[in-house]
Amino acid sequence: DPPELKIGQKLNEGKTKQIFELVDQLGLVLVQSKDQITAGNAVRKDQMQGKAAIANKTTSCVFQLLQESGIKTAFVKQHSDTAFIAAHCEMIPIEWVCRRVATGSFLKRNPGVKEGYRFSPLKMEMFFKDDANNDPQWSEEQLLEAKLCVAGLTIGQCEVDIMNRSTVAIFEIVEKAWATQNCTLVDMKVIEFGVSVKSREIVLADVIDNDSWRLWSAGDRSQQKDKQVYRELKEVTPEAMQMVKRNFEWVSERVKLLLEPQASSRVVLLMGSTSDVAHCEKIRKACASYGLPCVLRVTSAHKGPDETLRIKAEYEGDGVPTVFVAVAGRSNGLGPVMSGNTAYPVISCPPLTPDWGPQDVWSSLRMPSGLGCSTVLSPEACAQFAAQILGLRDHLVWCKLRASMLNTWVSLKLADKKLQACSL
């Protein structure tokens, strides 16, 4: 049973959920799903037994994926089958739509574009939330001129850019995760941001669920697994609703898999001597921030080349995708010898010292022909490069890299905004 929560007053209620204050938990709310599916702005309304639970599961898995990747979201944790706890936000009344493949309303608004047209970069659109006027599409200029003020934050260029960039990163993370299930994320809509009442930060809020995306299994439109099936029903019969529900269940079964590693990966860090262990620990720590396991071994390619090759064979032999990192001071024999004897990627990360560093580094840079050994000097950058290699196969690693890139971009943007405000 879910733990007891002291539920306070209802703060908001919409078509699909209710928002409750949480007594004793300042800045948090309970988001409760309703057992109802809507399309065409609630013109068609049907209760669907169990829909709330499925939607809840979908939302919580997607938000967990985003959060574990490092994206800032309002989601805190699942509370029950149909409810989760979230940061209390004032919502920015804009729905972002992000498209990879042209379909649906985009085709109507852009005659001549064929279904299946692929957007690279992603196509971004935004809609002002205004039921009375059917949520009109807005340009960036319209949003800027509206000078919306949300939880004390004025939505200006900086905030619009942050939402735009975040939407792209969110889409790409969810897209990458669905690709592991052979599913094409065609588009995502109703991506909404809020301003956290407590932290005053822009965070992804509301929900992402079946209703929020188009998903084509194996990239095939006839295998759509999204709410479009419901929109296209000619007649709402019990059998038809069963099919929609089966589709929903199909997604909710698979959405769990988005959180599981679909490929193993590992860094094997070879050091020439234990005097390099502090440098290696920095690499291991940075690997951990990408969720990458990192094994530390001691071996010298100069003094025990037979052991170096034996250790290499040990890790080549178990089929786990591996990046080798060589940490050797003075003359780095380790990286080049490894690189010349394995088809796996090898990164040298020599612990350079101020006295001989400029001379020593050449033993890592100037290679015999036929070697693809790379050299990265900082331990953190070495781990990042290993993650970029392994992220090609391991979506959870890739998602962390992608979110980290977004967060760096956002903090630069905010630092600049702050500095501009100070110098005024």
Ligand X SMILES: Nc1ncnc2c1ncn2[C@@H]1O[C@H](COP(=O)(O)OP(=O)(O)OP(=O)(O)O)[C@@H](O)[C@H]1O
**Residues that bind ligand NAG in the complex, under the rule CB under 6 A:** 51, 53-58, 60, 78, 80-81, 124-126, 140, 164, 182, 209-211, 218, 225-226, 229, 245, 247-252
Q: Which amino acid is at 397?
A: V
φ, ψ dihedrals at 180, nearest 5°? -65, -20
To ligand X, the closest distance from the beta carbon of 311 in angstroms equals: 51
Instruction: Establish if 74 lies at the interface with ligand X (CB under 6 A).
Output: yes
Q: At a CB cut-off of 8 Å and minimum separation 6, what does 95 contact?
A: 126, 127, 129, 135, 189, 190, 191, 192
Spatial distance between the Cα atoms of 256 and 386, rounded to a whole number of angstroms: 27
Instruction: Establish if 52 lies at the interface with ligand X (CB under 6 A).
Output: no
Window 152-211: residues binding ligand X (CB under 6 A): 194, 205-206
For ligand X, the binding residue among 20, 22, 30, 31 (CB under 6 A) is: 31
Choose between 26 and 236: whose C-beta lies nearer to ligand NAG: 236
Across-strand partners of 271?
298, 327
For ligand X, the binding residue among 88, 99, 189, 254 (CB under 6 A) is: 88
| DSSP H or E segment with residue 298 | strand 294-298
For ligand X, the binding residue among 46, 80, 128, 129 (CB under 6 A) is: 129
**Helices (H), ranges, 1-120:** 51-69, 105-109
Choose between 250 and 385: whose C-beta lies nearer to ligand NAG: 250
Stretch that binds ligand X, among 61-69, 88-96, 317-325, 337-345 (CB under 6 A): 88-96
Residue 263 burial (C-beta neighbours within 10 Å; 0-12, 13-18, 19+): middle
Spatial distance between the Cα atoms of 331 and 90, rounded to a whole number of angstroms: 59
Spatial distance between the Cα atoms of 27 and 373, rounded to a whole number of angstroms: 51
Choose between 13 and 232: whose C-beta lies nearer to ligand X: 13
Choose between 15 and 246: whose C-beta lies nearer to ligand X: 15
Choose between 191 and 396: whose C-beta lies nearer to ligand X: 191
User: What's the N-to-C CA distance of the chain in angstroms?
Assistant: 55
Beta strands in 197-276 (DSSP E): 202-205, 213-217, 266-271
To ligand X, the closest distance from the beta carbon of 54 in angstroms equals: 16
Residue 127 touches which of ligand NAG, ligand X, none (CB < 5 to 8 A by kind)? none
Choose between 6 and 15: whose C-beta lies nearer to ligand X: 15
Q: Interface with ligand X by CB under 6 A: which residues?
A: 12, 14-17, 19, 29, 31, 74, 86-89, 91, 129, 194, 205-206
